[in-house]
């Protein structure tokens, strides 16, 4: 495993981190995700990324992680980076969503209880709140660190202008933001329009989520939509409509480049993100330890020749 410094902080993160957004809820098989977690840790993945609403049902990923932490990893807590977030709907009523100090402090207290922890290593505001003053949201993050409930703070899904304002407030409060978690993949490129430059300038780390575009950037959809895939399910984030004939042709061309590099399409998509030194770590999900081990092979080749990068750009256009 490679470890990269998170911005200008003292913290280093593994180049590949494990996200528990899917596959770790009460609807999933405990022994399966237990094996996946062991595989991750045994292979140098020290960072485990959660949020209050991960499951399903919401909260259950933290509960399951807490159980595993207690039963299997209790002596390794100081070798782990555990993060959580709040910002999306977690409970009904006016205090279970967005970015008020009331919600963020209460939500983290609940998360700590579910995981059986005294503190998380990183606590994020999960998305900007258009109605709560940014100063209130950022001062809540500052308060949480001063209370000893988090060591570091981060933000997620903030566009460059909002992120710059958040960084300024947190710096003035004395709790600098160390990391930003945006959506970034070959198909989701908005971070290239100023955000990555801002993070470099501010000395803030970057940890992209959905690097495989919800599974689109894998070999799963090269020959249509499998019945057990995310796109086949009506309630998933990846819709059937996204798997067009044109998109499949594109994926096949990208897959050819990956094969010429000795990689799978998924491995190349992860390497493509990690080639940028401004990216600290990339978040991968895994439904099994086999899938996770396959993703980790992306670290075998992070170098791209200029003509290969141009070829990828031409296909994506």
pLDDT at 228: 64
Confidence at residue 149, expressed as pLDDT on a 0 to 100 scale? 98
| The pLDDT of residue 236 | 64
Give pLDDT, residue 37.
98
pLDDT at 221: 81
Q: Sort strands 3-5 and 12-14 into parallel, antiparallel or unpaired.
A: antiparallel
Can you give the pLDDT at residue 243?
78
Who's near 104: CB < 8 A, 6+ residues apart?
86, 125, 137, 140, 141, 144
Q: Is 74 exposed, middle or buried (0-12, 13-18, 19+ CB in 10 A)?
A: exposed
158 vs 67: CA distance, rounded Å = 32
Residue 132: the pLDDT is 98
pLDDT computed for residue 226 by the predictor: 65
Q: Which domains does the chain have, with CATH numbers?
A: 3-215+268-300 (3.20.20.100)
Report the pLDDT value the prediction gives residue 239, as an integer from 0 to 100.
Answer: 64
Structure pTM?
0.95
| Regions of the chain short of the pLDDT cut 70 | 225-239
């Amino acid at each position: 495993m490679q470890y990269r410094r998170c911005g200008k902080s003292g913290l280093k993160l593994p180049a590949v981190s494990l996200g528990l957004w899917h596959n770790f809820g009460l609807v999933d098989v405990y022994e399966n995700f237990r094996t996946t977690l062991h595989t991750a840790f045994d292979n140098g993945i020290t960072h485990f990324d959660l949020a209050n609403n991960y499951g399903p049902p919401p909260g259950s990923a933290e509960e399951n992680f807490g159980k595993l932490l207690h039963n299997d990893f209790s002596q390794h807590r100081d070798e782990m980076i555990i993060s959580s977030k709040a910002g999306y709907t977690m409970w009904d009523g006016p205090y279970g969503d967005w970015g008020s100090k009331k919600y963020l402090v209460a939500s983290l207290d609940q998360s700590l209880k579910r995981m059986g922890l005294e503190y998380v290593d990183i606590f994020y505001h999960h998305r900007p709140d258009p109605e709560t003053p940014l100063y209130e949201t950022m001062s809540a993050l500052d308060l949480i660190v001063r209370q000893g409930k988090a060591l570091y703070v981060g933000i997620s899904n903030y566009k460059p202008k909002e992120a710059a304002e958040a960084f300024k407030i947190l710096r003035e409060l004395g709790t600098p933001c160390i990391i930003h978690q945006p959506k970034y993949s070959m198909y989701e490129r908005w971070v290239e329009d100023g955000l990555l430059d801002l993070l470099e300038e501010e000395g803030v780390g970057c940890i992209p989520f959905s690097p495989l575009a919800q599974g689109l950037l894998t070999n799963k959809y090269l020959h249509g939509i499998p019945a057990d895939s995310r796109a086949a399910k009506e309630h998933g984030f990846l819709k059937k409509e996204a798997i067009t004939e044109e998109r499949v042709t594109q994926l096949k061309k990208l897959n050819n480049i990956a094969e010429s590099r000795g990689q799978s399409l998924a491995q190349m998509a992860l390497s493509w993100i990690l080639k940028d030194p401004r990216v600290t770590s990339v978040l991968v999900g895994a439904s099994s330890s086999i899938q996770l081990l396959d993703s980790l092979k992306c670290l075998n080749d992070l170098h791209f020749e200029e003509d290969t990068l141009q070829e990828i750009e031409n296909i994506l256009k």
